[in-house]
Amino acid sequence: MAYKITDECISCGACESECKNEAISESEEIYVIDPAKCTECVGWFGSPKCAEVCPVDCCVPDSDHKETHEQLLEKWHKQNPGETPTTA
């Protein structure tokens, strides 16, 4: 499933620069994750980088956007045509 950023976000921006899918952006009050672009870092890394770098643990799985590993990898391939994933 995609990740989301909760209201506990302190708008530090640590997560935005870690997202190779460019799924994270700043909104008026907190950062947000675009579920259409989020692959939980499948294809790039072994675990979601946003959650790893967040100092307040506000990057969490979004139960409204459930996807299998295969669906996340397929989404990654569509966003990165011709690329070879560094993780599968």
- No. of H helices and E strands in the chain? 3, 4
Q: Which tokens hold the place of 23? A: 């799924």
CATH architecture of 3-79: 2-Layer Sandwich (3.30)
Percent of the chain with pLDDT over 90: 92
Q: Distance (Å, rounded) from C-alpha 55 to C-alpha 12?
A: 9
Say if residue 24's pLDDT is above 70.
yes
Mean pLDDT of the chain: 95
Give the tens place of pLDDT for each residue, 53-77.
999 999 999 999 999 999 999 999 9
Listed in sequence order, the residues at least 6 apart from 70 whose beta carbon sits closer than 8 Å to its beta carbon are: none
Give residue limits of the domains in the chain: 3-79
What is the pTM assigned to this prediction? 0.90
Average pLDDT over every residue of 2-24: 96
